[in-house]
Amino acid sequence: KAGVTQTPRYLIKTRGQQVTLSCSPISGHRSVSWYQQTPGQGLQFLFEYFSETQRNKGNFPGRFSGRQFSNSRSEMNVSTLELGDSALYLCASSLLASGFSSTDTQYFGPGTRLTVL
């Protein structure tokens, strides 16, 4: 079974631009979560989608948005990029659970490395 895939793997943008990242969950998984990982802050939760609806949201500005399609694939968009948005963006999928569950493990993709110049 294929794992979580994310595209592109690397991206370079300039300040003020916008970017869209894509995540394809494991087949059959309906929950997709997005995270930002930086050396200083570690891993931080952005939002979670289930059945095309955002179920949970972390503490990020409105420039960060996402959506989920009927096939469970998800996209994340960041508008008006800032230097501080440079990070590894990770997506994780799980079968059903909202939040975290010991019976429904989240599987992470390899991430998209975004560099903002």
Partner 1 sequence: GESVGLHLPTLSVQEGDNSIINCAYSNSASDYFIWYKQESGKGPQFIIDIRSNMDKRQGQRVTVLLNKTVKHLSLQIAATQPGDSAVYFCAEISGGYQKVTFGIGTKLQVIP
Residues binding partner 1 (CB under 8 A) = 4, 37, 39-40, 42-45, 56, 88, 90, 92, 98-102, 105-111, 113
Closest contact distance (angstroms) between CB of 16 and partner 1 is 26
Pick 11 or 88: Cβ nearer partner 1: 88
Pick 79 or 95: Cβ nearer partner 1: 95
Provide DSSP, 38-105: ETTTEEEEEEEEETTEEEEE-S--TTEEEEE-TTS-EEEEE-S--GGG-EEEEEEEESS-SS-BTTB-
Pick 23 or 81: Cβ nearer partner 1: 23
